[in-house]
């Protein structure tokens, strides 16, 4: 006979974790309260499209994004306080579209220079930090 978990909340949390594992697209656009330390991409390992447009308080993308082996689109358009990309971004082998338009504070693109992200088909870099970024 199966035992019930000590708390019904445990069942709810396990169910949510199962649902997140099958998530393919996540759009958190205009989430002004979104900050990098609340994002844990290990919970969504099958994510293919991540849209974080206009998350104005996002300063950096968490290193855990490097575990998203199926990610094909990363849209950070209008994240005007975004300062740098994670060092793990080079591990995104499926990524073919990276949108950084309007990221006016982004200054560190060392991780996006060739040959690091040679598989990218489209990179949108307009309106980056003035004179501080060498485009890949």
Residues 113, 117, 121, 124: is their CA dihedral positive or negative? Answer: negative
Give domain status of residue 68, yes or no.
Answer: yes
The answer to whether position 98 is within a domain reads yes
**82 lies in some domain:** yes
How many domains does one find in the chain? 1
Helices within 22-123 (DSSP H only): none
**Which residue range is the domain that position 117 belongs to?**
24-124
Q: Is residue 16 part of a domain?
A: no
Domain CATH code at residue 74: 3.80.10.10
**Domain membership flag for residue 10:** no
pLDDT at 132: 46
> For residue 116, is the peptide bond before it cis, meaning its omega torsion is within 30 degrees of 0?
no
Domain for residue 133, yes or no?
no
| Residue 136, pLDDT score | 43
CB 45 within 8 A of CB 67: yes
Per-residue pLDDT of the chain (136 residues; tens, 9 = 90+): 445 455 444 445 455 566 688 899 999 999 988 887 777 888 899 999 999 999 999 999 999 999 999 999 999 999 999 998 888 888 898 998 999 999 989 876 665 554 456 666 666 666 544 444 444 4
Q: What is the pLDDT of residue 61?
A: 92
Whole-model pTM: value is 0.74
Q: Identify whether 115 is preceded by a cis peptide bond (ω within 30 of 0).
A: yes
- 18 within domain boundaries: no
69 lies in some domain: yes
């Amino acid at each position: 006979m199966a035992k019930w978990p000590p708390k019904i909340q445990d069942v709810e949390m396990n169910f949510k974790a199962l649902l997140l594992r099958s998530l393919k697209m996540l759009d958190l656009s205009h989430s002004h309260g979104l900050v990098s330390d609340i994002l844990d991409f290990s919970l969504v390992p099958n994510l293919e499209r991540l849209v974080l447009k206009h998350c104005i308080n996002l300063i950096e993308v968490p290193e855990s994004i490097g575990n998203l082996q199926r990610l094909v689109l990363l849209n950070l358009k209008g994240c005007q306080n975004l300062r740098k990309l994670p060092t793990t971004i080079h591990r995104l082998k499926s990524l073919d579209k990276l949108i950084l338009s309007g990221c006016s504070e982004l200054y560190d693109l060392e991780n996006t220079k060739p040959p690091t992200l040679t598989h990218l088909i489209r990179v949108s870099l307009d309106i980056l930090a003035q004179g501080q970024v060498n485009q890949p």
